[in-house]
Amino acid sequence: MEPTLADFVHTDFMKNPTDKKIAEKVLAAERITAEDALYLYTTAELGFLAMLANHIKHNKNGKNVYFIQNIHLEPTNVCVCNCRFCSYAKKKGTEGAWELSLDEIAEKIHQIDACVNEIHITGGTHPSATVSSYVDMVKTIRAINPHIHIKAFSAAELHYVFTKEDIPYQEGFRLLIAAGLGSIPGGGAEIFDETLRRKICPDKTSSVEWLRVHEASHQSGIFSNATMLYGHIETYEHRIDHMNRLRNLQDNTSGFNAFIPLKFKRQNNPMSNIKEGTLLEDLRNYAVARVFLDNFPHIKSYWPMLGKEAAQLSLSFGVDDIDGTINDSTKIYSMAGAEDTAPHMNVYEIKKLITAAGQNPVERYSDYSAVIVSA
Ligand code: V47
């Protein structure tokens, strides 16, 4: 049997009083403070962090690590925003810009394998986007594939179309859900601190607006995810502030499924002068997130961005979800320098990756219920 956190807490191995205080909180399922989180980021040993994070991961999800058969759809990279970390967005009519018509989207949907359960729509905030263009997109997909879960449009895109047309968030969600929207992804959160937002994504939805859109989605009866872009100009305090705002909203709505830290990749964007963080830093970040976000059911490491080996390692630091099969359908990270330029893993490869880390692979639907494969 592997030694557990409870085995260690009352032994001489745990001499440091701050380690002991935090370990006792975690064992008692008590919430850690921002100060505790700062200590975990700056001072705690990596092995201790892993033990804390795994204790929580194990209590929530046992040895289960979830994955999904999914596909990304990126209808456009034309975007009204000028985010300095982005390697993907283009202005309309410039070289490298793309815009898919509804017919082109329909063609892509016809090609999706029957085993794919979720379509994740992500992309730029197109200047001509409207609530009805989003409704039409969702309806087009729904008409071809009545069962697939549609996870679509970041809070940044939704805020843009709702406010442009003066449609209250809840009414906007009512129209989109009636068309077939199933949930919203976690994009656009970046880092919530407004001073940093002005520097890295000056014309994007504010943090308050991002949180309000997600709150409205939860009140409208759909769930969502939350991301955090880290490893650029932010400090640990900024990360903790970001997670604290998410934790507070989750206390009120319980509508978030997964927290997804996104490591800044620097190729082909105006922030290329910033050195990318190390793998150890990524692992610490997953573990602190798992401990701090006690009310989030899942912590996801997004393998197309992190790489397969690093995603596998993250499973020892509190992560219980590695997203999906993807089938080479996303460009956001390859354009920013992710090593996998055509990300795809089949179910066999994903299961092998999870099993080799000593965990139990569970194929899931978007709501985290397990896919039962009949013999
Ligand atoms: O908001 C853009 C990030 C996000 C870079 O909900 C970058 O399951 C790193 O939201 N380096 C969009 N990150 C993607 C997204 C997402 C991804 C995976 C799963 C889910 C989910 C949502 O991508 C943006 C931004 O934070 N991003 N450029 C970059 N250079």
Gyration radius (Cα) of the chain, Å: 20
- For ligand 1, atom 18: residue with the closest CA: 302
- Please tell me if the CB atom of residue 332 comes closer than 6 angstroms to any atom of ligand 1: yes
- Please tell me if the CB atom of residue 301 comes closer than 6 angstroms to any atom of ligand 1: no
CA of 371 to the centre of ligand 1 (A): 26
Q: Which of 223, 225, 188 is nearest to 207 (CA)?
A: 188
Residue 89 CB partners (closer than 8 Å, separation 6+): 77, 78, 79, 81, 82, 83, 124
CA of 209 to the centre of ligand 1 (A): 18
Q: Which residues of 290-325 are buried (b: 16+ CB within 10 A; e: fewer)?
A: bbbbbebbbbbbbbbbbbbebbbbbbbbbbbbbbbb
- Please tell me if the CB atom of residue 225 comes closer than 6 angstroms to any atom of ligand 1: yes
- Please tell me if the CB atom of residue 123 comes closer than 6 angstroms to any atom of ligand 1: no
For the entire predicted model, the pTM comes to 0.96
Q: Which residue has the tokens 């009120």?
A: 252
Q: Rounded distance, CA 45 to CA 272, Å?
A: 30
Which ligand 1 atom is at minimum distance from the Cα of 188?
A: 1
- Please tell me if the CB atom of residue 52 comes closer than 6 angstroms to any atom of ligand 1: no
pLDDT along the chain (375 residues), means of 10: 78 85 96 98 96 97 97 95 95 95 96 94 96 98 96 98 97 98 98 98 97 98 98 98 98 98 94 95 98 98 91 97 82 70 85 96 97 80
Sheet holding 118-121, edge to edge: 70-73, 118-121, 149-152, 183-184, 223-230, 256-263, 298-299
Q: Which residue has the tokens 């692992």?
A: 283
CA of 343 to the centre of ligand 1 (A): 15
CA of 338 to the centre of ligand 1 (A): 12
- For ligand 1, atom 12: residue with the closest CA: 187
Neighbour tally for 10: CB within 10 Å: 11
- For ligand 1, atom 28: residue with the closest CA: 86
Neighbour tally for 279: CB within 10 Å: 14
Burial of 332 (0-12, 13-18, 19+ CB in 10 A): buried
- Please tell me if the CB atom of residue 85 comes closer than 6 angstroms to any atom of ligand 1: yes
Which ligand 1 atom is at minimum distance from the Cα of 224?
A: 6
CA of 27 to the centre of ligand 1 (A): 33
- Please tell me if the CB atom of residue 122 comes closer than 6 angstroms to any atom of ligand 1: yes
Neighbour tally for 358: CB within 10 Å: 11
**DSSP letter string over 155-219?**
HHHHHHHHHHTT--HHHHHHHHHHHT--EE--TT-S---HHHHHHHSTTS--HHHHHHHHHHHHH
pLDDT of residue 331: 67
Q: Ligand 1 pocket: which of 90, 153, 229 to mutate (most atoms <8 Å of CB)?
A: 229
Q: Rounded distance, CA 170 to CA 184, Å?
A: 14
Is the separation of the CB atoms in 263 and 274 below 8 Å?
A: no
CA of 29 to the centre of ligand 1 (A): 30
- Each residue's pLDDT tens digit, 20-65: 999 999 999 999 999 999 999 999 999 999 999 999 999 999 999 9
Which three-class secondary structure state does DSSP give residue 336?
coil
pLDDT of residue 84: 97
- Each residue's pLDDT tens digit, 243-285: 999 999 999 999 999 999 999 999 999 999 999 999 999 999 9
CA of 86 to the centre of ligand 1 (A): 9
Q: What is the largest CA-CA distance in the chain?
A: 66
CA of 194 to the centre of ligand 1 (A): 19
- What tokens does 38 get? 């700062």
**Structural domains of the chain sorted by starting position, each given as residue range(s) with its CATH number in brackets:** 5-60 (no CATH), 64-363 (3.20.20.70)
pLDDT of residue 330: 66
| Degrees to nearest 5, angle at CA 185 with 181 and 186 | 150
CA of 267 to the centre of ligand 1 (A): 14
